[in-house]
Amino acid sequence: MRTDVELWKEVRRQVLANQMSKRAACQKYNLAWHTLEKILTHVEPPGYRRTQPRRKSKLEPLLPVIHQILTDDQHAPKKQRHTAHRIFERLRDEHGYEGGETIVKDAVRAWKQGHKEVFLPLSHPPGEARVDYGVATIKLAGVETKVALFVMTLPYSGAIFVQAFPRECTETFQEGHRQAFEFFGGVPTRISYDNSAIAVIEVLQGRERKLTREFLRLQSHYLFKEHFCLVRRANEKGHVERLLGFARRQFLVPVPQVESLESLNAQLRARCLADMNERTHGKPAAKDVLLVDDQTAFLPLPEEPFEARRVEDRIVSSESLVRFDTNDYLVPVQYAHRKLTVVATVAEVRLVYDDRQVACHRRCWQREQAIFEPVHYLALLERKPGGFDYARPLEHWNLSDCFALLRRRLESDDPRQGTRSFIRVLRLLEKFSLPQLTEAVEYALDIDVIDADSIRTIVEHRADTPVELFPLDGRPHLAHVRVETTDVSSYQALLAEATP
């Protein structure tokens, strides 16, 4: 089927090239005379042309009212602003509007499109970075789990670093920076952030911020400058948010199935390295080539390592438990009711009293859990041996069979004090490792010497390391001492005489 343009061209060529008369053209192409004149006058179909001005809409006198409502809405809470339907109802009820709702929606849409903010493309000099957190879903040991994604990007080169953490908090925020700086091989001169509570205590006027103590410690160690986005102006960090979506799509699709976060982070690091070979749209070279310019502008990595940690003071409960991050961590019973300092990293929780570490536990990222160390309760159980079989910290303490045999033997020999004697043996774990004590108990059972003092002697003797060389540093008076080698031949003679 011929289009209008094809017909238009054919008629003009036939008539204007004197190949056909106007009358013949009207007959052949079934055209009215005025239509033919229009074809010959215009090179292409001129389209629809209004011959009379459009009749004024019923809404036109009320357009200023709509515009005023929308202008006032800019200062109202987001969840309490007018919809187009609500504006239509107000126009109908308050101003006697008799028109339809669709034209009101069109007017609202036109006003909003005309008032959308226009942003200026920004240049990104080498050596600067942007940071953000996002959320992703993985299958961790077969269980669907949400993790926090720390993302640092370099806008100049387009390089990206991604690491997964159990949760967004102070210590993971700091650890993400440390790992990113080491990955990129330097410290960016300026880093842009949103207004996360991890870094910002209070938003002041403009870009001024009151910063948290731990963010200042991070900044003081690495010496970078901070740059915070204006409130409700997320477009200022749009680059990193786009790359956050890129990281989810490229690195986490399909949903990763891993046994630990360590293995996931190893995969993410490998993919970030592989992504270095790619070229970002509009960039003159691949990311790894442009990264050299970033690294040239970077600050050097400090020689002293940075510890990502959070420090808080806590009071130990009457059950010798310290609550931190909704979880309870056990300390030795002698510190009950005392004030301790909690030093929490991504991997562990250390508990310090008077500058002395009194307990250390693996960090628990679940919620409302109790993390016990049975050894910490043994001193209390020695005073209260009746609670040994009911103590919650000992519920899942799996000891070798030799310990159960030792307990039965001790309680059989002394029904009243046998349990206490067994606990005294277990308290040797305060000084020695479980494998060391296990070997000593097995040996004690073999030679039928099972009291706590004898087992202590055995384990101490086995733990002793012979001294091969005695140093004389700081003992000049011993330098001239000579110890003669003992001649044992006389003893051999005595033994020979004693032989019948």
Tell me, yes or no, whether 70 and 163 share the same domain.
Answer: no
Dihedral sign, CA of 463, 468, 469, 470?
A: positive
Q: Is residue 326 part of a domain?
A: yes
Rounded to whole angstroms, the Cα distance separating 438 from 426 reads: 10
Tell me, yes or no, whether 392 and 474 share the same domain.
Answer: yes
- Report the pLDDT value the prediction gives residue 472, as an integer from 0 to 100: 63
Contact status, residue 163 vs residue 155, Cβ threshold 8 Å: no
- Report the pLDDT value the prediction gives residue 450, as an integer from 0 to 100: 86
Contact status, residue 377 vs residue 394, Cβ threshold 8 Å: yes
Helix axes 84-95, 101-114, angle to 10 degrees: 120
Q: Is residue 37 part of a domain?
A: yes
Query: Quick one: average pLDDT of 352-375?
Result: 90
pLDDT of 181 strictly over 50: yes
Tell me, yes or no, whether 474 and 492 share the same domain.
Answer: yes
- Report the pLDDT value the prediction gives residue 208, as an integer from 0 to 100: 82
pLDDT of 1 strictly over 50: no
Query: In the numeric block, which tokens belong to residue 34?
Result: 């005025």
Q: Is residue 467 part of a domain?
A: yes
Tell me, yes or no, whether 187 and 107 share the same domain.
Answer: no
> Which residue matches tokens 């949903």?
255
Q: Is residue 439 part of a domain?
A: yes
Confidence of residue 280 (pLDDT cuts 50, 70, 90): confident
User: Which of 91, 114, 137 is the endpoint of a domain?
Assistant: 114
Query: Quick one: average pLDDT of 66-92?
Result: 89
Query: Quick one: average pLDDT of 320-341?
Result: 92
Tell me, yes or no, whether 367 and 388 share the same domain.
Answer: no
Tell me, yes or no, whether 250 and 387 share the same domain.
Answer: no
> Of 370, 334, 333, which Cα lies nearest the Cα of 349?
370
Tell me, yes or no, whether 289 and 159 share the same domain.
Answer: yes
User: Which of 242, 273, 297 is the endpoint of a domain?
Assistant: 297
Q: Is residue 303 part of a domain?
A: no
User: Which of 323, 342, 371 is the endpoint of a domain?
Assistant: 371
Tell me, yes or no, whether 285 and 328 share the same domain.
Answer: no
Confidence of residue 209 (pLDDT cuts 50, 70, 90): confident
Query: Quick one: average pLDDT of 309-335?
Result: 92
pLDDT of 390 strictly over 60: yes
DSSP string, 158-173: --EEEEEESS-SHHHH
Write out pLDDT tens, residues 341-351. Answer: 999 999 999 99
- Max mean pLDDT among 37-41, 124-128, 135-139, 203-207 falls in 135-139
Tell me, yes or no, whether 176 and 287 share the same domain.
Answer: yes
Query: Quick one: average pLDDT of 240-264?
Result: 84
Three-state DSSP class for 338? coil
> Number of folded domains in the chain?
5
Q: Which domain holds residue 285?
A: 128-297
Contact status, residue 199 vs residue 132, Cβ threshold 8 Å: no
Q: Is residue 322 part of a domain?
A: yes
User: Which DSSP helix (H) or strand (E) runs through 360?
Assistant: strand 356-362
Of 197 and 280, the structure prediction assigns the larger pLDDT to 197
Q: What is the dihedral of CA 417, 418, 419, 422, to 10 degrees?
A: 120
Task: Please name the amino acid found at residue 153.
Answer: T
Of 104 and 462, the structure prediction assigns the larger pLDDT to 104
Write out pLDDT tens, residues 49-70. Answer: 666 666 657 888 889 999 999 9
Q: How many CA atoms lie within 13 A of 492 on its CB side?
A: 4
Buried/exposed 74-111: b ≥16 CB within 10 Å, e otherwise: eeeeeeeebebeebbebbeeeeebeeeeeebeebbeee
Name the β-bridge partners of 192.
130, 227
Dihedral sign, CA of 99, 101, 103, 107?
A: positive
Tell me, yes or no, whether 367 and 385 share the same domain.
Answer: no
CATH number at residue 213: 3.30.420.10
- Report the pLDDT value the prediction gives residue 283, as an integer from 0 to 100: 78
Tell me, yes or no, whether 242 and 134 share the same domain.
Answer: yes
> Of 69, 291, 292, which Cα lies nearest the Cα of 159?
291
> Of 139, 135, 132, which Cα lies nearest the Cα of 160?
132
Contacts of 489 (CB under 8 A, 6+ apart): none
For residue 485, the 8-state DSSP code is P
pLDDT of 9 strictly over 80: yes
- Report the pLDDT value the prediction gives residue 189, as an integer from 0 to 100: 95
Query: In the numeric block, which tokens belong to residue 350?
Result: 């250390």
Q: Is residue 259 part of a domain?
A: yes
User: Could you tell me the CA-to-CA distances from 24 to 3, 7, 8, 34, 58 in Å, in that order?
Assistant: 21, 15, 15, 14, 49
pLDDT of 235 strictly over 60: no
pLDDT of 397 strictly over 70: yes
Would you tell me how many other CB atoms lie within 10 Å of the CB of residue 119?
10
Tell me, yes or no, whether 332 and 209 share the same domain.
Answer: no
